[in-house]
Structure 1
Amino acid sequence: MTPEDPEEIPLLLRPGGSAPRGRHLFLAAFAASLGSLSFGFALGYSSPAIPSLRRSAAPAPRLDDSTASWFGAVLTLGAAAGGVLGGWLVDRAGRKLSLMLCTAPFVAGFSLITAAKDVWMLLGGRLLTGLACGVSSLVAPVYISEIAYPAIRGLLGAFVQLMVVTGILFAYLAGWVLEWHWLAVLGCGPPTLMLLLMWCMPETPRFLLSQHKLLEARSAMCFLWGSEADWEEPPIGAEYQGFQLTLLRHPGIYKPFIIGISLMAFQQLSGINAIMFYTETIFEEAKFKNSNLASVIVGAIQVLFTGIAALIMDRAGRRLLLILSGMVMVFSTSAFGTYFKLTQSGSGNSSHVNLSASVSAEPMYAGVGLAWLAVGSVCLFIAGFALGWGPIPWLLMSEIFPLHIKGMATGVCVLTNWLMAFLVTKEFSTLMEALRPCGTFWLASGFCICSVLFTWFCVPETKGKTLEQITAHFEGR
């Protein structure tokens, strides 16, 4: 194989062969997805921890408005660096060892937060957990996609995102009863369990074959898929190739690159961070005075609809769910923008929204009714996002790239996702001042329309196909 003629290793599973029956496959997928659970817990940790840190007394560290915003945002910077590190690790250390290594910054980060004496230790701990989030968000989908056979790859791939939102909900629920330092201690649990379980799991057969470790690959196949799995050995001369810029001339390389990067950008431009920003305020206006309850309701909706997406992924297909999800988000962000237009007409051009003041001139039943319109829009958006644009970009990222560039390519996608998350979050207040809240959410609705059109014209269906067949599709074979 030469750089001018990139070629994938042959099919490990023949589409017409007998279906593998190895139950160990699901155990291996669960072990890898514990990294996603840790990722979700780290994301959700800041929501209950920041109020706890605001009211903490000396000698414990205490957050003000400025440091609280950095406490939430610094994780995305660490995750962006983790995406680059994960892309390098996954090709050199392998999928299994990369997952095991990312447990170290998870545990170290939460331990540093637990022992924090000042704000800098808190930020350092968040940076370390962010680094681990970046690595796990890349490696877990790759590991699972390479051990799964086509009939269940969508189910297991969506299970990654299901574990992320479960981790977020877990952090919200635990935050009801635990202070910030005990919550950080709890965060050490999932990565420790992942380390123990992954120690007993094999490397992916595809990676082993790319390293010409045929005996180890045969053993991994038997462990994961059972002795009746239908598989082939690679031909002599099929070698692993790293990424070279000249490869970008080939459709089999630049097409998945464009799709993967675009999907990650559209995911963050959909308005998910803006919606989450207003969730607690909107729920309070609808008489949900307990902001923790609002967070738990949002987390439960995410878990429910991500679970539904996982169950129907291999039947409905990726494209249909992306299009349906995007249309739901278009409707909900438009309605949310309309809500702000109705409640803020005549108010100043300010990003600091006082919802109670905006509806005070209306009769009480009208104000509450508008608040419930906002609650419905928020819940509908989160349900739509969880059904498609939450899990599927990560799943497609792990499916569409050829094996010989997967590490670098997925690293670029993860870096794009986290950098976009940081930029959108940082510039959100600027958009609110320039466009007002209604304009900001209508802009998000426009991006959602673009995401639907992009999916319709550019994203291929991958359900039921082996990874090698997907590569052949991009190469025109």
Structure 2
Amino acid sequence: MTPEDQEERQPLLGPPGSSIPRGRGVFVAAFAAALGPLSFGFALGYSSPAIPSLRRTAPPALRLDDASASWFGAIVTLGAAAGGLLGGWLVDRAGRKFSLLFCTVPFVAGFEVITSAQDVWMLLGGRFLTGLACGIASLVAPVYISEIAYPAIRGLLGSCVQLMVVTGILLAYLAGLFLEWRWLAVLGCVPPTLMLLLMCCMPETPRFLLTQHKHQEAMAALQFLWGSEQGWQEPPAGDEQQGFHLAQLRQPGVYKPFLIGVSLMAFQQLSGINAVMFYAETIFEKAKFKDSNLASVIVGVIQVLLTAVAALIMDRAGRRLLLVLSGMIMVLSASTFGAYFKLAQGGPNNSSHMDFFSMPISLEHLGTSAGLAWLAVGSMCIFIAGFALGWGPIPWLLMSEIFPLHVKGVATGVCVLTNWLMAFLVTKEFSSLMELLRPYGAFWLASAFCCFSILFTVFCVPETKGKTLEQITAQFEGR
């Protein structure tokens, strides 16, 4: 075969002049892994249409009161926190591929328990199992994709993790328009089953195979994923079998990315995204939307479109620029959202201000006009769009990029645990915060956290665009 024939069979990847050939296998493997985040998104979105359906059509033993409905939505985050710890342990010992295969079991089992539920405890148990699977998938899928992707497309493929999450949420919203809760749970078994079938045919990541001293299998995986071994940079010898020890936290190559990863996850949840989503349906109702389910679909469409935009421009604009732009949009829109509550209250001397202390807070107390409600609709939609552009996908992407190979399992496990515990605390305690600060104060506080997230990005977060994982590690280590 002539050199010209080889070039025709293996077109170049990345910019013109690059010597790295393109292999289609990396896109197939990334899609198979991203079915985990799709399942994860469907499990998160399931509660929104399922709770009204359970209250409307379920037998008496399964009817949800306010307290059980709250736990039905929130227990997923506790299961996911546990799944983050389990995933961090699995990903280093059993491998990235096996961990993704393993998470399909609690996904399918959880939805089957919900489908066959005879009482509320079975419903909660099924939700906890799906949450456990969510925690594993949210950790392992970004790690798998980042380790199989070459630098020119790692941002695109890594952002597809969050894109599949919001697509799964939107799928649950859309299916909830037509299916009652049992059939909706049956549908939830489809994405993880498809992932199980596809991942069986995909390779383990070359980096993990090298840690197991399987050099020949690593090169075969690389041939499948990239179409060639050209452009591959092997991890430094000796690091892969060290394992994690607390003494390593003294090393800048470990503690710097560790602090950045945990802080990014905390700032993501402190931005107030869950609080905004909590009020979405009520805000749309005040703006004279008759169908609150349709409002949820609109929110889902906004998330999918803007996350897709972020994925497309990630490897051109860079991570830092999108984080700063996203944070600025969220600061302005959260401030406006707080102003809406302040205006709706009618001033500090309004005698009805004590209504804000009757929790859970309802916008029905505010007596707002449709015009003022549209201010809330606009600021809410802009906030969600800003979040989807940067602070939605990028913390998960950076988590998969910045940690050295020998501590990746433990470090990503702590990051995922931080994210899900913060999600649980913010969701469960936001009403108490609104009691203390009143609604406008709570959202202005979220705006302040968004300001801090911008400053943190500017001064602490490195740019990883176009760099190999080894170059990122070397940058933290000062090499």
Asked if 2 retains the 8 angstrom alpha-carbon contact of 1:214 and 1:233, the reply is no
Partner of 1:468: 470
Q: Please show how residues 124-273 of structure 1 align to structure 2 within 5 Å.
A: 124-227=125-228, 229-231=230-232, 239-273=240-274
Aligned counterparts of 1:221 and 1:106: Cα–Cα separation in 2: 30
| Counterpart AA for 2:405 | L
**For the residues of structure 1 that align with 2:107 and 2:461, how far apart are their CA atoms?**
34
Structure 1: state its 5+ residue gaps: 1-12, 361-366
1:17 touches 1:230 (CA, 8 Å); kept in 2? no
Instruction: State the Cα distance separating 1:231 from its structure 2 match.
Output: 3.0
Question: 2:3 aligns to what?
Answer: none
Indicate the percent of aligned positions where both proteins have the same amino acid: 78
SS state at 2:366 partner: helix
Distance 1:212 1:442 in 2: 53
Aligned length: 459
Output aligned runs, 1:61-76, within 5 Å.
61-76=62-77
Aligned ranges 1:294-333 → 2 under 5 Å: 294-333=295-334
Aligned to 2:275: 274
Q: Which residue of 2 aligns with 1:430?
A: 432
**Structure 1 equivalent of residue 10 of structure 2:** none
Counterparts of 2:177 and 2:235, CA distance in 1: 53
1:363 matched residue in structure 2: none
Residue 378 of structure 1, aligned match among 377, 380, 386 = 380
Output one character per residue of 1:10-50: Cα deviation in whole Å (capped at 9) or x when no partner: xxx99996223100110000000000000000000000000
Contact 1:28 1:198 in 2 (8 A): yes
CA distance in 2 between partners of 1:250 and 1:354 (Å): 49
Deviations 1:385-442 (A, max 9, x none): 0000000000000000000000000000000000001111111111011000000000
Letter matched to residue 353 of structure 2? G
Q: Which amino acid aligns with 1:394?
A: W
The residue number in structure 1 matching 2:363 is: 355
| Secondary structure, counterpart of 1:49 in structure 2 | helix
Normalised TM-score (structure 1)? 0.94
Distance change >3 Å, CA 57–CA 273, structure 1 → 2: closer
**Counterpart in the other structure of 2:6:** none
Partner of 1:24: 25
The question of whether the paired residues in 1 share the 8 Å contact of 2:54 and 2:181 is answered with yes
What SS does the corresponding residue of 2:247 show, helix, strand or coil?
helix
Q: Are residues 307 and 341 of structure 1, via their aligned partners in 2, closer, same or farther at CA, if it must alter by over 3 Å?
A: same
- The answer on whether the counterparts of 2:222 and 2:229 sit within 8 Å (CA) in structure 1 is no
Counterpart of 2:373 in structure 1: which amino acid?
A
**In the aligned structure 2, how far is the partner of 1:228 from the partner of 1:354?**
59
Q: 1:233 to 1:441 in 2, by over 3 A?
A: closer
Question: Per-residue displacement from partner, 1:69-125 (whole Å, max 9, x unpaired)?
Answer: 000010000000000000000000000000000000000000000000000000000
- Kept in 2: contact 1:14–1:231 (CA 8 A): no
Deviation at residue 356 of structure 1 after TM alignment: 4.5
Shift in alpha-carbon separation, 1:393–1:442, aligned structure 2, 3 A: same
Deviation string for 1:47-71 (max 9, x for gaps)? 0000001113426611110100000
Q: What amino acid is aligned across from residue 93 of structure 1 in structure 2?
A: A
- Aligned residue identity for 1:192: T
Cα offsets for 1:161-202 (capped at 9, x unmatched): 000000000000000000000000000000000000000000
Q: Deviations over 1:247-285 (max 9, x none)?
A: 011110000010000000000000001101111010000
- Cα RMSD of the aligned pairs, angstroms, is 1.7
Give the TM-score normalised by the residue count of structure 2. Answer: 0.93
